[in-house]
Structure 1
Amino acid sequence: MACLAAVPLALPVALPTALLIARPATAQETSISFGTGSSDTKAPIYVDSDQLSVSQTDGTAVFEGNVKVAQNDMKLSAPRVLVVYNEAGDEIERLEATGGVTLVSGEDAAEGDRADYDVVNGNIVMRDNVLLLQGNSTIASDIMHVDLDSGSARMEGRVRTVLQSGKD
């Protein structure tokens, strides 16, 4: 643990076993429940990484090497996380996790090549090779939009789903 920092805003995501609402197979979008919609989006984010570089010039911080981000019961891991601050440098505008991202909460997990967290609006967008595992069900797509306030998500692109009934 070379770097440990408390970042003063939230990346809350609870991924309960979801009620999946799949549209017809020809649709390019699938809506799912995602999170509780009552998470504390202002809770601190804790970051652990091998390296930290801070730029006063452009208002960014880069965490690299085995980056672990935690907020409440949510865990995010990636090789690199860029933190972008507002012009005043006193609040985080967004986080950009790249290089293969894993997002875990409870028994559920999502993976993608990239995750962008818009702190101001409380949204996460995972992109490229997105795979969401919820209980016995899986959903793969190109893009997953998560609204942290409502606890909902939307999968876009070529959506592929395996729904399990839970029966043997």
Structure 2
Amino acid sequence: MKSNIKMKRVIRKFLISYFLLFRFSVFGQFPEENPPELLTNPDATVVTSNTFKLDQNIHQGFFSGNVITIANNFKMRSNEMTVFFDESGSEIKRLIAKGEALLVQEKRTAKAAQMEYIVAEDKLILTGNPEVIEENKDHVTGNVITIFRNSNQMFVDGHSRVILLRTSQASQDQQQKK
């Protein structure tokens, strides 16, 4: 009886430790400094992950585990990401990031279970409890959020909820947090 209780405690501690280790390793902070490749080539995008598979026959690359994508104008984190290339294999057509995806830009943070980016349209489609926070104040949620980055437009489809804070209200909120 006592050995069963001890074994359950050991298993419980292991599961809690494993969950915390997994949670913080996958969803830890972004690196503080940008990769050095961005200094020499400002148009570069650097992707790191636990594994990477490339299938040139179907023109796809698959990143899995602790996927961190860094470019000069954004940082993105997810559990996995699939990249779809054109027929020549030299240009990215679209990418899909899945699993607690987080996108951080200068004035915008977006979270969703899945993010799809279509390069030709400069369009980002967020699904799975998406939310967008603009300039650390305005907050948008809905079933599907579509952002057209080149025209600075956003469309929310299904159960949209938008919280717009006036500048004075946002300042008061910031002061109260301190």
Tell me the TM-score normalised to structure 2 length.
0.66
Query: What are the superposed Cα offsets for residues 2-22 of structure 1, whole Å, 9 maximum, x if unpaired?
Result: xx9x8xxxxxxxxxxxxxxxx
User: Corresponding residue for 1:130?
Assistant: 130
Shift in Å, 1:76: 0.9
Structure 2 unmatched runs, 5+: 1-34, 173-178
One-letter code aligned to 1:151: N
Residue of structure 2 equivalent to 1:32? none
Name the structure with the higher strand share.
1
TM-score (norm 1): 0.70
Match of 2:98 in 1: 98
1:11-160 matches, cutoff 5 A: 43-134=43-134, 135-160=136-161
Which amino acid in the other structure matches residue 165 of structure 2?
Q
1:63 maps to a residue whose letter is F
Residue identity in the other structure for 1:74? F
Q: Give deviations 1:69-89, integer Å, cap 9, x for gaps.
A: 122131111000101111121
Partner of 1:28: none
Secondary structure of residue in 1 paired with 2:128: strand
Distance (Å, rounded) in 2 between the aligned partners of 1:59 and 1:113: 24
CA contact (8 A) 1:82 1:95 kept: yes
Code of the residue aligned with 1:46 in structure 2: it is: V
Pairs aligned (count)? 129
Aligned partners of 1:73, 1:116: CA distance in 2, in Å?
Answer: 17
Q: Using a 3 Å threshold, how does the CA distance of structure 1 residues 108 and 88 change in structure 2: closer, same or farther? A: closer
Deviations 1:23-73 (A, max 9, x none): xxxxxxxxxxxxxxxxx9xx3322111110111221111011110112213
Q: Which residue pairs with 1:162 in the alignment?
A: 163
Which SS does the other structure have where 1:57 is aligned? coil
Equivalent position amino acid for 2:148 in 1: D
The answer for unaligned runs of 5 or more in structure 1 is 7-39
Inter-partner Cα distance in structure 1 for 2:49 and 2:82: 12
Local SS of the residue matching 2:159: coil
TM-aligned CA deviation for residue 107 of structure 1: 5.0
More helix by share: 2
CA distance in 2, matches of 1:164, 1:149: 24
Amino acid at match of 2:46: Y
Residue 20 (structure 1) aligns with: none
Higher Rg of the two aligned structures: 2
Aligned-pair RMSD on alpha carbons? Answer: 2.0
Q: More relative contact order in 1 or in 2 (CA 8 Å, sep 6+)?
A: 1
